[in-house]
Amino acid sequence: METMYAETTLINENLMFKNKINNKEEFIVDYIPPLGNGEGYTSLELFLISLLTCCCSTVKILLDKQFKIKIRKFHGTAKAVRKDEHPTCFSQIDILLQISADALNDEMMKKAVSLSENKFCPVIAMMNKNIQCNISWNISHE
């Protein structure tokens, strides 16, 4: 079982925090003005990129290992809709995976995405079921 360590320190009078995870480089988390300075990543921005990279990583691993697909290009985008009322969390997230690979087809992608969503992606597994997450893809053979 892996243990991760995170620490955060308030570094101004607003909501700017200096953060460190394990022994990696420090980074800034801030909030939007007027409560923050808007000079770092917000917590929701970090959550969204965590979700996107986790989803892409698990799909790539599944395509590599289960289907023996050699991926030439892989690009993912995520668009999140944030609620206006508190808690101002995401209500919907749309992820688009754009993959270039020979012999890859929709059935393989459907299975890899389903396994990622339902079994392997830890960020999706931790999401509240109140967030609608839609994953789609485009395949090219270029």
Tens digits of per-residue pLDDT, 55-112? 999 999 999 999 999 999 999 999 999 999 998 889 999 999 999 999 999 999 999 9
Which residue is associated with the tokens 């290009």? 73
101 shares its domain with 135: yes
The CATH number of whichever domain residue 123 belongs to comes to 3.30.300.20
The tokens describing 5, both together, are: 């360590």
User: What does the pLDDT read at residue 3?
Assistant: 92
Average pLDDT value for residue range 35-59: 95
The per-residue DSSP string of 90-139 comes to EEEEEEEEEEEETT--HHHHHHHHHHIIIII-HHHHHS-TTSEEEEEEEE
55 shares its domain with 26: no
User: What does the pLDDT read at residue 129?
Assistant: 74
73 shares its domain with 111: yes
125 against 135, higher pLDDT: 135
Q: pLDDT averaged over the chain? A: 94
Average pLDDT value for residue range 9-21: 96
Number of domains in the chain: 2
118 against 128, higher pLDDT: 118
Helix axes 106-115, 43-65, angle to 10 degrees: 130
107 shares its domain with 124: yes
Residue 34: pLDDT over 70:
yes
57 shares its domain with 81: yes
Distance, in Å, from the CA atom of 129 to the CA atom of 74, rounded to the nearest integer, reads 27
User: What does the pLDDT read at residue 131?
Assistant: 86
Range of the domain at 6: 1-41
- Residues in contact with 26: Cβ distance below 8 Å, sequence separation at least 6, in sequence order: 18, 19, 20
What CA–CA distances, in Å, run from 15 to 10, 25, 44, 48?
Answer: 7, 20, 14, 20
pTM for this model (two decimals): 0.89
53 shares its domain with 29: no
80 shares its domain with 33: no
82 shares its domain with 135: yes
Distance, in Å, from the CA atom of 8 to the CA atom of 132, rounded to the nearest integer, reads 30
Residue 128: pLDDT over 70:
no
CA-based nearest residue to 120, from 82, 78, 76, 65: 65
